């Protein structure tokens, strides 16, 4: 996927943008799981002025599926985006309360729906607070619906069958964003009923390793990290626990200059279920 809008926005840049008529600022709401679970409270009183709530586990999930917060269809996404006052020409900036945790998922979802004018606030709310910028206690009201139109790309997300093919393709890499302990099967999964371990031939780039204190590492550092892990391969499928922090790695890969990227939406919440899909544990 190409990206005509820079993937990241700094706190200082966002502060200068506040009040622009085409800016729509979204706080991505999701209760942290696993490594991010204690990083920030779910609902502290502060939020960035003008922010509206992007409910990742509510309005922006496909509840017809049993897996957690799966990507909704284009009709649902379009309807809910319009309710947030998002227009076809809106510049959408997303952030979360942890730093870089759930906001890249929203960024990737907008890109999947064909909206390229979307960026992630580097460092999220913690970086905003650290800079001493003003906050608000209330979400921004939506005065009138937007005219957002979903135009699915069809390539941003993939299913388990596509992952199975990728695992045996020497030109592609499946990159798992879970912690090292979960990847190796030494730590339990936070969701009950899942097997421990990883997919055969998958490699591990924990989402915490592409950032420092909630801010993304530089493009040069990220490129070196991916090259160390995957060598010369430049086609990636990202996975994690439930398709959220995989998008942190997808953001990192985008900033590093990679363009052939997909996210496995079901991730370990699907692959790790009892089944005949192969699972490897590191001894």
Q: What's the burial of 66, exposed, middle or buried (CB within 10 Å: 0-12/13-18/19+)?
A: exposed
Catalytic residue among 48, 194, 240, 248: 240
Q: What angle do CA 240, 280, 259 make, to 5 degrees?
A: 40
Torsion of CA 13, 19, 21, 24, to 10 degrees: 60
The H-or-E segment that residue 77 falls in is: helix 74-83
Residue 10 CA to its chain's centroid (Å) = 17
Contact 268, 241 (CB under 8 A): yes
User: How crowded is the C-beta side of 237, counted as CA atoms within 13 Å?
Assistant: 26
- Cα separation, 105 vs 92, whole angstroms: 13
Comparing CA positions, the residue from 244, 231, 241, 234 lying closest to residue 267 is 241
Tokens of 166: 């990728």
- Cα separation, 242 vs 70, whole angstroms: 8
* 240 annotated active-site: yes
Catalytically annotated residues: 240
């Amino acid at each position: 996927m190409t990206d005509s809008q820079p993937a990241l926005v700094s706190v200082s840049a966002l502060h200068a943008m506040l009040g622009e008529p085409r800016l729509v600022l979204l706080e991505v709401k999701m209760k942290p799981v696993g490594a991010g679970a204690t990083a920030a409270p779910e609902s502290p009183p502060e939020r960035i002025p003008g922010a509206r709530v992007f409910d990742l586990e509510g309005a922006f999930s496909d509840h017809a599926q049993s897996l957690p917060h799966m990507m909704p269809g284009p009709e649902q996404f379009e309807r809910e985006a319009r309710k947030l006052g998002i227009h076809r020409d809106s510049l959408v900036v997303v952030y979360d309360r942890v730093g870089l945790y759930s906001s890249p998922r929203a960024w990737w979802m907008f890109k999947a729906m064909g909206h390229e004018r979307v960026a992630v606030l580097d460092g999220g709310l913690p970086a905003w607070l650290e800079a001493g910028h003003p906050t608000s206690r209330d979400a921004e009201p939506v005065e009138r619906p937007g005219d957002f139109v979903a135009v699915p790309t069809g390539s941003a997300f993939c299913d388990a069958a596509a992952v199975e093919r990728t695992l045996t393709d020497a030109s592609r890499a499946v990159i798992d964003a879970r912690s090292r302990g979960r990847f190796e099967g030494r730590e339990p999964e936070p969701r009950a009923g899942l097997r421990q371990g990883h997919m055969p031939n998958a490699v591990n780039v924990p989402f915490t390793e592409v950032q420092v204190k909630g801010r993304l590492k530089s493009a040069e550092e990220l490129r070196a990290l991916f090259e160390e892990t995957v060598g010369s391969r430049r086609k990636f499928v990202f996975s994690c626990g439930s398709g959220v922090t995989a998008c942190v790695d997808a953001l990192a890969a985008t900033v590093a200059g990679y363009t052939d990227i997909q996210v496995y939406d079901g991730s370990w919440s699907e692959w790790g279920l009892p089944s005949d899909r192969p699972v490897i544990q590191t001894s």
